[in-house]
Amino acid sequence: MNTKNLVHLINSSGYKIVLAITGGGTEAIGELLRHGGGSATLLEAIVPYSQQAVDAFTGKKPEKYNSVRTARAMAMAAFQKARILQQEQKEVGKVLGIGATCALAKFNERKERQHELHIAIQSLQNTTTYSIHFLDERDRESEESLACRLIINALAIACKVDIEITDNTGLLSQESPQIRSAQVTEAISNMLLDKGNDPDLIPKYFRLKEKDKDISHSHKVILSGSFDPCHRKHIEMAKIASEKYGVPVHFEISLTNVDKPPMDYISLEDRISSIQACYDPDFMGDIFVTNTPLFAQKANIFPESTFILGADTMQRLFNVKYYRPQDTTQSLYRHFKEKRIDFLVFSRKGAEIDISPEVRDMITIVPENEYIDDGISSTQIRIEQ
């Protein structure tokens, strides 16, 4: 199918999209508009071309700009923007965010430089990615046209057009795209519609294991984190806490954030898998996915609980940036005490933890002879992967 006919099918699909592209492939924007009817589909097209622009658009600084992770972050940011522009909640199931990052041929490049394209599509219930590594010696213009067609094809597939990602691309057989998709239940996708700092936020959670068990009337120990990925020190902290309190430790991941777009579903799947890979039933309990990035919100889901914190998280706990809009420091103290919340803090060598007198009775610091921080971090693990 030629590009013109494909674009007409996209524009008649009823989907509304925001498209964000960086590094190349921007011809796709022109193709969506040049054949007429583009306003039926395209809400906005964004080209965050500089690193600073990508940082601002995604709300964070990626470890690598041309990567499938960055494409997913851009797609989620685009999806959130599309929701705002569309403003019709009943149509949110036909809203799409598309993110694409490219590294294409350029003049006087180093010989070993890889040419690649990463495309991500975010919908209410699904995250899909396509990663293509170009092997043929094409010039920049040829790779731009190829990237354009691949982005259009990926968008068409998301709009339920019957087409393959490689149709009319001329890709070599050994350039077959790597495709990945993750889908979530309605209970989780509904959390995507919430804002992490909304004063009227209704806390929600989805538990992966004992779904029907009431958690509201018993003491719980919760390890909250991004777990990107979960590593041995997370598990060691959980084991120490379980031995101290005599109950299993539940793991909690917030899908939403305060100051950046929500987590995409492939990221969520990877993080849950990293916890499950380390799972030990002797001291680990359930895994919860929530819409509560703030501990004041978590306290509403998990009253009468001990939250496990690292030193850095402890320092952010009473930072006004991480308050709900209606909170003051004093009201936050009262809220935690009313909900019977306390904190078990695992420090690290050289860290200074400043504890206000008002909250000393709700904070226990694990002695250094019981837990030794060896400097391992999720960031370090991601970089080395």
pLDDT digits (tens, 9 = 90+) for 214-257: 776 689 999 999 999 999 999 999 999 999 999 999 999 999 99
Q: Which has the higher per-residue pLDDT, 178 or 260?
A: 178
175-212 burial code (b ≥16 CB/10 A, e <16): eebeeeebebeeebbbbbebebbeeebebbbbbeeeee
How far is the C-alpha of 235 from the C-alpha of 255, rounded, in Å? 21
Task: Tell me the per-residue pLDDT of 81-114, one tens digit each, with 9 for 90 and over.
Answer: 999 998 766 678 899 999 999 999 998 888 788 9
> Do both 227 and 215 map to the same domain?
yes
- What's the CATH number where 102 sits? 3.90.950.20
Task: Tell me the per-residue pLDDT of 109-129, one tens digit each, with 9 for 90 and over.
Answer: 887 889 999 999 999 999 999
> Do both 58 and 177 map to the same domain?
yes
Question: So what's the pLDDT on residue 283?
Answer: 97
* Residues 290-311, mean pLDDT to the nearest whole number: 95
Question: So what's the pLDDT on residue 162?
Answer: 96
> Do both 135 and 211 map to the same domain?
no
**pTM, full prediction:** 0.94
> How far, CA to CA in Å, does 246 sit from each of 123, 242, 288, 362?
42, 5, 20, 18
> Do both 218 and 344 map to the same domain?
yes
> Do both 179 and 320 map to the same domain?
no
pLDDT at 213 over 90: no
pLDDT at 353 over 90: no
Weakest-pLDDT range from 29-38, 66-75, 149-158, 344-353? 344-353
Question: So what's the pLDDT on residue 354?
Answer: 80
Range of the domain at 226: 187-384
Which neighbouring-strand residues pair with 343? 307, 363
Question: So what's the pLDDT on residue 52?
Answer: 98
Question: So what's the pLDDT on residue 347?
Answer: 86
> Do both 142 and 194 map to the same domain?
no
Round the average pLDDT of the chain to a whole number and report it.
93
- From 183, 201, 217, the end of a domain falls on 183
Task: Tell me the per-residue pLDDT of 361-370, one tens digit each, with 9 for 90 and over.
Answer: 999 999 888 9
> Do both 218 and 159 map to the same domain?
no
- From 156, 183, 210, the end of a domain falls on 183
> Do both 34 and 157 map to the same domain?
yes
> How far, CA to CA in Å, does 3 sit from each of 94, 167, 199, 298, 354?
22, 10, 46, 49, 61
- Checking phi first, is residue 347 left (phi over 0); if not, alpha (psi -120 to 50) or beta? beta
Weakest-pLDDT range from 55-64, 145-154, 199-208, 235-244? 199-208
* Residues 318-324, mean pLDDT to the nearest whole number: 91
- What's the CATH number where 323 sits? 3.40.50.620
Which neighbouring-strand residues pair with 20? 46, 99
> Do both 254 and 320 map to the same domain?
yes
Q: Which has the higher per-residue pLDDT, 91 or 78?
A: 78
Q: How many domains does the chain have?
A: 2
> Do both 226 and 157 map to the same domain?
no
Q: Which has the higher per-residue pLDDT, 384 or 36?
A: 36
Q: Which has the higher per-residue pLDDT, 195 or 286?
A: 286
- From 183, 205, 221, the end of a domain falls on 183
> Do both 340 and 240 map to the same domain?
yes
> Do both 166 and 249 map to the same domain?
no
